[in-house]
Amino acid sequence: MKTAKLTDSEYLVKAGKIIRARQMTKIEKLFEISLPGGESLDHEPGQFVMVSIPGVGEAPLSISSSPTKRGSFEIVVRNVGKVTNALHKFDTGDTVGIRGPFGKGFPVQILEGNDLLFVAGGLGIVPLRSLINFVIDNRRDFGKVNILLGCKTPQDMLFGEEVDSWSKRLDVNFDITVDRCEDPDYNGNIGLITKLIPGVTLDPERTFAAVIGPPIMYKFVIIELLKKNIPERQILVSLERHMKCGIGKCGHCQIQNYYCCKDGPVFTYDQIKDKKEAL
């Protein structure tokens, strides 16, 4: 895969046209965006863009689509505050500002030829979906693929149809759990995502784990992955920090000697394990 490049300038805001908008849940909305001239973003899975609205502000948002999707890209926005609330009012045909792609994503070339274990909790599926679909689109370049997903209730599962298609593939081991469910007809797993890890059969020496989820999830998932003897340098996590510039200039996202926006958001566990505030 081509290494992602910073097109033109890190400061250049491009006009991103919303070509599709879909309310996914009460608080999450998907936007498909195209750049002028149908230019592709050329991102690495795990990278993010800075999305801006004039007069409101700018927010870092993960690129959810795979780089194999050309001509447009997708983001999913959870409505939590000023910028995200304003974005939720946007629809097909509207224009937002786009800077990026930024940050270090997943090291795709290093992952090639190895087995993969994806662990996504809640909104973590949004960035991880970019890598999952990249791997599925280049399936022969990777070894065994395990996908573990967790969310609060079955209704909170994003990308339901796509997730369903992953679960039906014969070349993917798939499991999913929900924190709670009141539907008496539901016969799936109930419990935390950590409970799914002991049941996965894997060869630790050739397995890379990619983990994204709410902050509370990381500590417990990593304990389970270490119990499986996956080396610390093969555990990849994506961190979220408050960001302003997105390009290593302002210091808002600093974790000791790292800038999350530039040195991350994807880090190996051995890079950050001694930095108390990281997880």
Ligand X SMILES: Cc1cc2nc3c(=O)[nH]c(=O)nc-3n(C[C@H](O)[C@H](O)[C@H](O)COP(=O)(O)OP(=O)(O)OC[C@H]3O[C@@H](n4cnc5c(N)ncnc54)[C@H](O)[C@@H]3O)c2cc1C
Where do contacts with ligand FES occur on this chain (CB under 6 A)?
243-246, 248-253, 259, 261
- Judged by beta carbon distances under 5 to 8 A according to partner kind, the member of ligand FES, ligand X, none in contact with residue 59 is ligand X
Cβ-based nearer residue to ligand X, 81 or 160 = 81
- Nearest approach in angstroms of CB 27 to ligand X is 9
**Rounded to an integer, what distance in angstroms lies between the CA atom of residue 214 and that of residue 210?**
14
- Judged by beta carbon distances under 5 to 8 A according to partner kind, the member of ligand FES, ligand X, none in contact with residue 93 is none
- Judged by beta carbon distances under 5 to 8 A according to partner kind, the member of ligand FES, ligand X, none in contact with residue 48 is ligand X
**Rounded to an integer, what distance in angstroms lies between the CA atom of residue 244 and that of residue 222?**
29
Compute how many other C-beta atoms are within 10 angstroms of the C-beta atom of residue 53. Answer: 18
- Nearest approach in angstroms of CB 260 to ligand X is 7
**Rounded to an integer, what distance in angstroms lies between the CA atom of residue 257 and that of residue 251?**
10
Cβ-based nearer residue to ligand FES, 62 or 234 = 62
- Nearest approach in angstroms of CB 57 to ligand X is 6
- Nearest approach in angstroms of CB 92 to ligand FES is 30
- Judged by beta carbon distances under 5 to 8 A according to partner kind, the member of ligand X, ligand FES, none in contact with residue 145 is none
- Judged by beta carbon distances under 5 to 8 A according to partner kind, the member of ligand FES, ligand X, none in contact with residue 136 is none
Distances (CA, A) of 83 to 41, 52, 57, 135, 245: 22, 8, 6, 32, 15
Contact 203, 111 (CB under 8 A): no
How would you label 93-128 residue by residue, b for 16+ Cβ within 10 Å and e otherwise?
eeebbbbbbbbbbbebeebeebbbbbbbbbbbbbbb
- Nearest approach in angstroms of CB 262 to ligand FES is 6
- Judged by beta carbon distances under 5 to 8 A according to partner kind, the member of ligand FES, ligand X, none in contact with residue 126 is ligand X
**Rounded to an integer, what distance in angstroms lies between the CA atom of residue 104 and that of residue 260?**
9
Cβ-based nearer residue to ligand X, 90 or 190 = 90
Cβ-based nearer residue to ligand FES, 150 or 246 = 246
Cβ-based nearer residue to ligand X, 200 or 210 = 210
Contact 261, 253 (CB under 8 A): yes
Burial class (CB in 10 A: 0-12, 13-18, 19+), 234: buried
What are 91's two structure tokens?
């629809």
- Nearest approach in angstroms of CB 253 to ligand FES is 4
The residues that touch ligand X, with contacts defined as CB under 6 A, are 48, 57, 59-62, 75-78, 80-85, 126, 240-243, 265
**Rounded to an integer, what distance in angstroms lies between the CA atom of residue 214 and that of residue 218?**
7
